[in-house]
Structure 1
Amino acid sequence: MRLLFLSFYYPPDLSAGSFRSVALVRALLDRLPAHAHIELITTLPNRYSTFTSAAPALEEHPRLTVHRVALPAHKSGMVDQSKAFLAYARGAMALCKGKRYDLVYATSSRLMTGSLGALLARRLKAPLYLDIRDIFVDTMKDVLPGKLAWASKPFLSALERWTLGTARRVNLVSPGFLPYFQARYPGRDWSLFSNGIDDEFLAAAPPDAEQPAGERVLDVVYAGNMGEGQGLHAILPGLARHFRGRLHFRLVGDGGRRAQLEQALADAGCDNVTLLDPVNREELIGLYQSADVLFLHLNDYPAFKKVLPSKLFEYAALGKPVWAGVGGYAARFVEEHIDNAAVFAPCDLDAAVRAFEALAPVTRPRPEFVARFRRDAIMADMAEDLLATPGSPWAGRTP
């Protein structure tokens, strides 16, 4: 029995999709019978041009084969990303040619990997389980220029319908996605397995004792993508200028708007911001632990009111104050589940300043949050859901 697993990103690449996929693979291997095999098709590390990590094109493990497709050099532009995905799709189709699979799984933030999964599932006559990490059609409506968004929406909407129509089971990473999908695809059931806290962050959780930051310039850390979706260029220059002498910002990552962010900080005369290239997880945890406050921001687009950033789980596990410029479902999630966290409306400088003043500069464990959102527990349940996909040979069986 063979399971085809499609994930554009996989360790050692750095992305929420990468970390989610490896956790699900572990959970599946714990549950699949000895004669089952997972064939995973991903890419050679490519998320950031400023972060490279060696990885073999082929890895063989007991019950797991990992193929990594080589991509052309690319950055964060849409043309480059399209070329990269086409290379991945061609590689995946070539690797699957002449093979048989009993179940196909695809995890997708930009819809395209999900659509590749639908195409392969149809060709292979295998059931498809689809994991949706973002609403691509909705996001493009907000991010693309008006005429291009208008011209592309009918095609993208049709592609979304075809992809979801192929899937036997669909998981939504954020419950905030439900209204969108229920309105467009009434009558079907949805799974809701979110992101969670990985073992590395559980091990780095603070001790029970509260740790005050003290009287000094506080260190604020942001780690992650620096693209249009995060909108850091729209908020950080003003924040850094306002808090000069009180806060120092360390921004770790890369993305399509990093150059614009650097220019905006220079134009604002900000001397209390340090930009660092992406780092591996071990170094990242060290940066989190040395911070006094952890910062998060999404741009002010309607589509982002539905998402639940994976970064929130990492931040909350480390016990640091969380300063978050998010709206919609993410704002409600923070207010409900994360103590010593302050939410402000995206891109609103005055609201961001007020939110910061509401934070207590202390590191404090969040045991209830950690217990509820452990990644291993969430992925264990998701693995069971995946194997129970209608048409799967594992449906109704116990390992």
Structure 2
Amino acid sequence: MKVLFLTFYFSPDLSAGSFRSQALVSALLNKLPDHSSLDVITTLPNRYASFSASAAEHEESENLTVHRIPLPSHKSGMLDQSWAFLRYARRVLRQTDGNEYDLVIATSSRLMTAVLGAWVAKRCRTKLYLDIRDIFIENLPFLLPRGLQWLGIRFFGALERWAITRASIVNLASPGFDGYFSPRYPSQKFTWHTNGVDPVFSDRDASAFSNRSALVSSHSIPSFSGAKKRLKVLYAGNIGMGQGLDRILPGVAKRLEDRADFIVIGDGGQRALLEKSLRENGVKNVDIRAPMHREQLLGEYHEADVLFLHLNNMSCFERVIPSKLFEYAATGKPIWAGVRAFTARFCQENITNIAVFEPCDVDSALKEFDQLSLEEQSRNDFVESYRRDSIMKRMADDVVSLLQ
């Protein structure tokens, strides 16, 4: 069997899509029939302009071939990301022209990789498996000028409908997506394999983190409201419109300037806006650092007192499960999360010692901050339920079922 896998991000790039794709490839290599081959067409690391990682444009092993397409540097803006994707799509179409595949897999957050996968599958007259990580149509009102929204939604809605109905199986990365997709595509077969906790974090929960938790808890106080030392609050991840850090971090950091220091590790299209807002509000207790490898990030998690997460107060973010949430939960650290709707319910029902507040609401954030317990808590049950390797094994079983 010959399988094609399209993913815009792949190891060693830093992104949720990269980590997910790498895990799925590993699972597929253990599940595909004997003498099968898996071709991955992706890009060279390009998630952040401030982060570079060396990777070969072409890698080949016994049954895996990885093609990485070089792209121009970009600042995560919509226009330059669109140009980068067009270059990727042209190379994919050229590279797959004349090839035959038994199955095409595409994982997509902004819809177009799914559309590209559907086109390649149609041209090859083969089956298609889609992994949808976001609802792009619901993002459009926040991305397009008002005069273009109606046309954009109709245009991309038609592309979404064509890609979804072309697929044999569509996986949704969040159960929250069901309310959008199932009514629109009632005859489509959907599965729900979420993001999860990667081994670099899950394998440490019962050892390194829990050992440190025991040490900390023996000297801890009940909550942050009575803390006498300066607290260290860490955010690690993308700094984009979806996170809305510029709308929350200056306010909470200013109000906590006598109690806490904030560290932001990451980059993205809204970093300059965040830095401007911090300057304008006279905030001195926020340190923004460049992205780093996840192994290095473990040390930063160890040093933090609380982990911060925030999604902008836009309706399109009410259905997601942020991939960073799984990583945070595995550390045992207290989590301070600005989320709502389905996302808030998921947090409250599944994760202990998490303070959930209304996004972009400084007063709500500070109220919940003081309710957190300083004591670190092992979340082994959550980690075991959402181990990435276990989730990807089940996902790989669904993919392989299409080859039988």
Normalised TM-score (structure 1): 0.96
Contact 1:23–1:379 at 8 Å: present in 2 too? Answer: yes
CA shift, 1:44, in A, is 0.5
Considering only aligned residues, what root-mean-square deviation do their CA atoms show, in Å? 1.1
- SS of residue matched to 1:362: coil
Q: How do 1:319-358 and structure 2 match up within 5 A? A: 319-358=332-371
The change in CA–CA distance for 1:285 and 1:144 in structure 2 (over 3 A counts) is farther
In 2, distance between residues paired with 1:113 and 1:292? Answer: 38
Distance 2:264 2:278 in 1: 12
Measure how far apart 1:286 and its partner are: 1.4
Partners of 2:268 and 2:14 lie apart in 1 by: 12
The amino acid of 2:360's aligned partner reads: C
Give me the identity figure in percent. 52
Could you tell me how far apart the structure 1 residues matched to 2:139 and 2:341 are? 14
**Count, aligned residues:** 391
Aligned to 1:142: 142
User: For 2:328 and 2:46, how far apart are their aligned partners in 1?
Assistant: 24
Q: Deviations over 1:47-90 (max 9, x none)?
A: 00000011000001221000001112222111101110001001
Tell me how far apart the structure 2 counterparts of residues 149 and 276 of structure 1 sit (CA, whole Å). Answer: 35
Residue 210 (structure 2) aligns with: 207
Aligned to 2:86: 86
Equivalent residues of 1:292, 1:362 under 8 A apart: no
Secondary structure class of the residue paired with 1:383: helix
Q: Corresponding residue for 1:366?
A: 379
Deviation at residue 318 of structure 1 after TM alignment: 0.4
Q: Which residue of 1 aligns with 2:331?
A: 318
Deviation of the 1:364 alpha carbon: 1.6
For the residues of structure 1 that align with 2:127 and 2:334, how far apart are their CA atoms?
44
Measured after TM superposition, the shift of residue 188 of structure 1 is 2.4
Q: Secondary structure at the match of 2:101?
A: coil
- 2:286 corresponds to which of 265, 273, 277: 273
Amino acid in the other structure paired with 2:303: S
Counterpart contact for 1:142–1:302, Cα < 8 Å = no
Give the Cα–Cα distance (whole angstroms) in 2 for the partners of residues 356 and 236 of structure 1.
Answer: 13
Is the Cα contact below 8 Å between 2:44 and 2:71 reproduced in 1?
Answer: yes
Taking the aligned partners of 2:145 and 2:321, their CA distance within structure 1 comes to 24
- Cα pair 1:294 1:320 within 8 Å, conserved: yes
Q: Are 2:136 and 1:119 equivalent residues in the alignment?
A: no
Retained in 2: the 8 A contact 1:129–1:386? Answer: yes
- How far did residue 283 of structure 1 move? 1.1
Alignment of 1:125-204 (within 5 A): 125-204=125-204
Tell me which amino acid in the other structure corresponds to 2:269.
Answer: G
* TM-aligned CA deviation for residue 144 of structure 1: 2.9
Q: Deviations over 1:89-133 (max 9, x none)?
A: 011111112211100000000001000000000001110000000
Give the whole-Å Cα distance in 2 for the aligned partners of 1:154 and 1:366.
44
| Residue aligning to 1:245 | 258
Conservation of the 8 A alpha-carbon contact between 1:204 and 1:285: no
**8 Å CA contact 1:135, 1:303 repeated in 2:** yes
Name whichever of 21-30 and 210-219 sits farther off: 210-219
Residue 391 of structure 2 aligns with an amino acid whose one-letter code is I
Whether 2:262 is the aligned partner of 1:259: answer no
Contact 2:27 2:396 in 1 (8 A): yes
CA contact (8 A) 1:27 1:379 kept: yes
Q: Specify the SS of the correspondent of 1:67.
A: strand
SS in 1 for 2:191: coil
User: Which runs of structure 2 are paired with 1:298-313 in the superposition (5 Å)?
Assistant: 298-313=311-326
The CA distance in 2 between the partners of 1:174 and 1:251, in whole Å, is: 26
Query: Contact 1:5–1:39 (CA<8 Å) still a contact in 2?
Result: yes
**Counterpart contact for 2:233–2:308, Cα < 8 Å:** yes
Residue equivalent to 2:224: none
Q: Aligned AA for 1:17?
A: G
Give yes or no for contact 2:210–2:332 (8 Å, CA) kept in 1. no
Measured in 2, the distance between the counterparts of 1:382 and 1:373 equals 13
SS, match of residue 35 in structure 2: coil
Do the aligned partners of 1:34 and 1:63 also contact (CA within 8 Å) in 2? Answer: no
Aligned mates of 1:227, 1:360 — CA distance in 2: 29
> What TM-score does the superposition give when structure 2 sets the normalisation length?
0.95
Look up the match of 1:59. Answer: 59
* Structure 1 counterpart of 2:240, one-letter code: G
CA drift at 1:145: 3.0
Deviation at 1:281, TM superposition (A): 1.1
| More divergent stretch after superposition (279-288 vs 41-50) | 279-288
In structure 2, how many angstroms separate the alpha carbons of the residues matched to 1:298 and 1:150?
25
Aligned to 1:227: 240
Partners of 2:94 and 2:398 lie apart in 1 by 29
- 8 Å CA contact retained: 2:168, 2:189: no
Cα distance, 1:183 vs structure 2? 1.7
**CA deviation digits over 1:246-271, x for unaligned, max 9?**
11100011111100000100111111
Q: Secondary structure at the match of 1:110?
A: coil
**Aligned equivalents of 1:77, 1:357: Cα separation in 2:** 36
Q: Is the 8 Å Cα contact of residues 174 and 308 (structure 1) preserved in structure 2?
A: yes
